[in-house]
Amino acid sequence: MHPASRHRAAEPTEAKGAATGKQWIRKADADQTRASFPELFFDLVFVFALVQLAKTLASDFGPTALVEAALLILAIWWIWIHSTWVTNLLDTEQDPVRLMLFLLMFGGILLAIALPDAFGDHGFAFAVIYCAIQMGRSFFMLYAYHRVDAASFLTFLRITLWLVLASAFWLVGSQMETTPRIAFWSTALLVEYLAPALRYYLPGLGKSAPETLDVSGKHMAERCALFVIICLGETILTTGRNAAEHMADDMTFAVFCSAFLSTGFMWWIYFHHGQEKAANKAEATSKPETLALNLFTYGHLPIVSGVILTAVGEDFSLSHAKDESTMQTALAILGGPALFLAGNIWIKLAAAHQFPISHIVGFAILALAGVLSALAANYHLQFLATATLFGVAIWEYLALRRASASTA
């Protein structure tokens, strides 16, 4: 934790009117490294959102649908990671904070309901709900920090103004046809994703100073790990449902076993070494806000996206196991694990400053297989993806054991 931030958080407020808001902010001596029950409850809403997204993408995997799905993944992730930053700073045992989380959950459910037709008739509803979640949470933080911590208040003021700009693109885009809607919503997400990298610079207000917010890096590491668990769990649910629908085919059981093992290997690759390194790095760093931005806000996005795309690919391999592969099905079956490995390369490089050679080789194999995918059936690609993930997992495991033995 940043010393100056601890000092600010411990300072008594000078205004009686700010006392309520200050009570909502996590105390400097609070146990902040474990996810609270309200946060875990909040995460449940994203199981539904991810299931909706995977089903939507599996039903239509054309070029336009893929772009739309990418935008929806970015939107869902941005809501969740921003909410995680907020709960990192707040005391989730306080009733107003819990109420805020429940309202965000309700908004998240409505957003998930509108998600399948977000680029159709439910576009306006999706945009309004999305903006309400983002703006409502930001206004809550403005009130919490008002006359309590001037630097943090200004940071959230800048965040709010950036969100106002993005909201204009969301709302205007919701009134457009599909192509201009994609353009407007892409611009909205570009604004939101660029803002933290630019430290929320605004003319007249400048930019936020580094390490302004009192962030717990270890808490962020745990929260992101739990979200990865949610995504992997969604993949298991999707795989089980699809296997039950196609179990009459003699190939289904083998493909199901392969898909299940793929999910298990993904769990191993992320949690056996990468998550631990990320957590240790987050705990030891003197710049938790900067680390959280690079390692978690941006760094976990390809991991989460890769898991979701893997679920779609496993849907294809179960429902059309013996069909000849196309570039579209190969993109899901092989692209999901490849994107997952790319995210883990980023995480492990940032956390341990070492190139995970096994991951790079695995990524290269999947990319090469994608080029040659027209020569195989879908189940061949599924088996190859599983074998590649297994090879990466066992290679890294043996390499770590050798490294541990050499230093013992």
- Indicate whether 175 and 280 sit together in one domain: no
Provide the CATH number for the domain around residue 299: 1.20.1410
List of residues 6+ apart from 240 with CB closer than 8 A: none
Residue 312 has pLDDT above 50, yes or no: yes
* CA terminus-to-terminus distance, the chain: 31
User: Which of 197, 229, 245 is the last residue before a domain boundary?
Assistant: 197
State the average pLDDT over residues 8-19: 44
pTM of the model: 0.87
- Indicate whether 231 and 282 sit together in one domain: yes
- Indicate whether 254 and 180 sit together in one domain: no
State the average pLDDT over residues 91-111: 92
pLDDT of residue 32: 58
- Indicate whether 40 and 148 sit together in one domain: yes
Tell me the one-letter amino acid at 225.
Answer: A
- Assess if residue 211 is contained within a domain: no
Q: CA-CA distance, 215 to 220, in Å (whole number)?
A: 8
- Assess if residue 206 is contained within a domain: no
Q: CA-CA distance, 325 to 139, in Å (whole number)?
A: 49
Work out the number of other CB atoms within 10 angstroms of the CB of residue 142.
16
- Assess if residue 203 is contained within a domain: no
Query: Which range scores top for mean pLDDT: 58-72, 118-132, 222-236, 270-284?
Result: 118-132
What pLDDT, in 10s, does the model give residues 58-75? 888 888 989 999 999 999
Top pLDDT among 219 and 188 is at 188
CB 248 within 8 A of CB 321: no
- Full residue range of the structural domain in which residue 14 is found: 3-24+33-197
- Indicate whether 272 and 301 sit together in one domain: yes
- Indicate whether 252 and 171 sit together in one domain: no
Number of independent structural domains in the chain: 2
- Assess if residue 210 is contained within a domain: no
- Assess if residue 207 is contained within a domain: no
- Indicate whether 10 and 107 sit together in one domain: yes
Would you place residue 402 in the very low, low, confident or very high pLDDT band (cuts 50, 70, 90)? confident
- Indicate whether 73 and 192 sit together in one domain: yes
Residue 12 has pLDDT above 50, yes or no: no
State the average pLDDT over residues 349-354: 78
pLDDT of residue 21: 64
Residue 29 has pLDDT above 80, yes or no: no
Q: CA-CA distance, 274 to 178, in Å (whole number)?
A: 39
Cα dihedral 210→215→217→219 (10° resolution)? -160
pLDDT of residue 5: 42
Residue 194 has pLDDT above 50, yes or no: yes
- Assess if residue 327 is contained within a domain: yes
- Indicate whether 121 and 182 sit together in one domain: yes
Lowest average pLDDT, out of 53-57, 97-101, 314-318, 383-387, goes to 53-57
State the average pLDDT over residues 106-128: 94
State the average pLDDT over residues 128-142: 96
Would you place residue 394 in the very low, low, confident or very high pLDDT band (cuts 50, 70, 90)? very high
Residue 407 has pLDDT above 90, yes or no: no
State the average pLDDT over residues 212-224: 86
% of the chain with per-residue pLDDT over 90: 53
User: Which of 197, 226, 248 is the last residue before a domain boundary?
Assistant: 197
pLDDT of residue 285: 78
- Indicate whether 62 and 101 sit together in one domain: yes
Nearest in space to 85 (alpha carbons), one of 286, 229, 288, 280:
288
pLDDT of residue 126: 97
Q: CA-CA distance, 288 to 296, in Å (whole number)?
A: 11
Residue 7 has pLDDT above 50, yes or no: no
pLDDT of residue 20: 60
User: Which of 163, 197, 231 is the last residue before a domain boundary?
Assistant: 197
Nearest in space to 299 (alpha carbons), one of 235, 344, 254, 251:
344
pLDDT of residue 31: 57
- Indicate whether 146 and 178 sit together in one domain: yes
Lowest average pLDDT, out of 43-52, 98-107, 280-289, 304-313, goes to 280-289
Q: CA-CA distance, 305 to 173, in Å (whole number)?
A: 24
Q: CA-CA distance, 86 to 154, in Å (whole number)?
A: 15
DSSP H/E element including 162: helix 150-173
- Indicate whether 9 and 157 sit together in one domain: yes
DSSP state of 222: H
Residue 118 has pLDDT above 60, yes or no: yes
